[in-house]
Amino acid sequence: MTLDSGRFGRFGLKTGRNALVARPMLGTAIVVAFATAFMILFVDRPITYFVAEDLDPSIAAFFRALTEIGNGTVYMTASASFWLGFRWLAAQNADPAVAERFKRISAYGAFALTALLAAGAVATILKHALGRFRPSLLLTDGVYGLAPLTFLPKSTSLPSGHTQVMWTVATILVLLKPRIGLLLIPIAVLVGASRVAINVHFLSDVLLGAYVGVLVPLLVYVAFFPRLGPAPERLGQIRRILGLSP
């Protein structure tokens, strides 16, 4: 008995392609992993040197002002206040129907807070597990690379936390209020660009931060808050994207 290597190869490629098409998030994870590795090897250093030496100061100043939009404390505080505020209103209201409505509204804040905390936790774990040195060390001392499982402030570059926060916020709103969420995507892109423009992150840090910022809210939504936001058919689409249903 012999195997036709051509047929076997075509069958293997076709099967793999179909599996990735059926599970877009898995395919995206593979693409992001390869793109991150490629950028670390060939792209990040040239971009960092270019930004440090040739970026127009007025552009750098613009991005320096813009970058604070990605501060996660503001969004977590707002989400917690929204959640607890409407829970308090529900507890204070004597009308059961109104109280139930306030409880449903409070769930939006609970979802946002949970997604932000979970995505932030994943990003923090990756930062310390990968231990990537920040661009400042490359520019001042020529130090570049990874020091896994270190806890030094300048070895927490990968992924970008500000980028992760903005993509988490955008994904939350795309799920709950799609029109508003879509408007935030360009802002999330600009915040990611700002992290590179002010030389606190590499481009690959931004890519991985964006991926975490999209993936984790989707998982949190499907696992804990499936009744919020999208209609049932859209929930099914999200589950298929994550590879959680056939």
Distance (Å, whole) CA 154 – CA 82: 34
φ and ψ at residue 127, rounded to 5 degrees? -55, -50
User: What pLDDT does 8 receive?
Assistant: 43
User: What pLDDT does 1 receive?
Assistant: 45
Distance (Å, whole) CA 213 – CA 102: 28
Percentage, residues of the chain above pLDDT 70: 88
Q: At 151, is the pLDDT very low, low, confident or very high (cuts 50, 70, 90)?
A: confident
Amino acid letter, 143: V
Distance (Å, whole) CA 197 – CA 52: 8
Q: Which domain holds residue 119?
A: 5-241
Q: Which of 4-8, 13-17, 86-90, 242-246 has the highest mean pLDDT?
A: 86-90
Q: Is residue 246 part of a domain?
A: no
18 burial (CB, 10 Å; 0-12 / 13-18 / 19+) is: exposed
Distance (Å, whole) CA 156 – CA 70: 17
Would the pLDDT of 12 be above 80? no
Would the pLDDT of 13 be above 80? no
Structurally, how many domains does the chain consist of?
A: 1
Residue 246, number of CB atoms within 10 A of its CB:
7
Would the pLDDT of 36 be above 90? yes
Q: Is residue 212 part of a domain?
A: yes
